[in-house]
Copies of this chain bind each other. A is one copy, B any other.
């Protein structure tokens, strides 16, 4: 399943690593430079900066911090940061606590081509997933963790679904399926259900999200999201209103959709896209028995939301051990 970026007449399948063939890389780069679209002297300039806040410096230091948090154990997980139309991310299968700027890939989201492709490394398999957050949410950064708390939360929701389905419950859409939205009017409910039913790939989204309420920490999660359907340079993000303003309140219910896991990480794209459609306000998508994807307008927002969610997932697991319910319904 190829993730494709279309601009003008060119179709670039970046997922398969257009840069592997060195010649193609040269051609593309020359075209890019001739077009004057980027002022680029060498790919190395993309990752050379004394600014600690530059993505090429941030990604190594954040990955080291994430390692200590147990989010990227055994090379799993990672982060991508977008700087304008350029997305920076780590290679696939490397020790996340030991990444250096020179290991990073740089993808031009407009051109759909890699401006930096450090052979013999391969780009992270999360790339198309990160891409979705940039395209559909206008995210500035996207984090993927293998946090054990995230995994356990999905296991418990799965468990509950199996028990309920056996008892005949949750077979169809209901208000609770949406999570969070507790003040729907009849018309909104009807619209929501229609949109839900029309989403392709919705079968890979669990019928019920992870839901929890009445915890101070949910106030750290945005209430809504900005939606974009084109490439991020075609839209002025600052003019787009989020689906709901501000952050969740203490009396809201946090709902994070869960998608089925797949054999290959890149194959999560379709279900991740579906979950994003079906849960238009969500800052994150859980992947069953796998982990979580979390995004935000900036790396700071993505990281603090990811931290708050991880805190909530861990708390939820402890609550379950102590027989404290997640919600009141």
Contacts and interface: CB of A to CB of B under 8 A. Distances in A.
A250 interface: yes
A261 interface: yes
B324 A159 contact: yes
A75 interface: yes
Contacts of A33: none
A70 B312 CA distance: 12
A73 B65 CA distance: 13
Query: How many copies of this chain does the complex contain?
Result: 4
Nearest to A214: B289
B217 A152 contact: no
A228 interface: no
Interface residues of A, number: 47
A214 B217 CA distance: 30
Given A148-B311, A152-B315, A74 B220 contact: yes
Interface string A317-329: 1111111100000
Nearest to A308: B74
16 contacts: A73-B311, A74-B217, A74-B305, A75-B308, A93-B304, A95-B304, A146-B217, A152-B315, A152-B319, A155-B324, A215-B289, A215-B290, A250-B262, A251-B263, A320-B322, A321-B321
Query: 6 tightest A-B contacts by CB?
Result: A74-B308, A216-B290, A74-B307, A73-B311, A74-B220, A155-B324
Given A151-B216, A159-B324, 11 more contacts: A73-B311, A74-B307, A148-B311, A152-B322, A152-B324, A214-B289, A215-B290, A216-B261, A216-B289, A216-B290, A251-B263
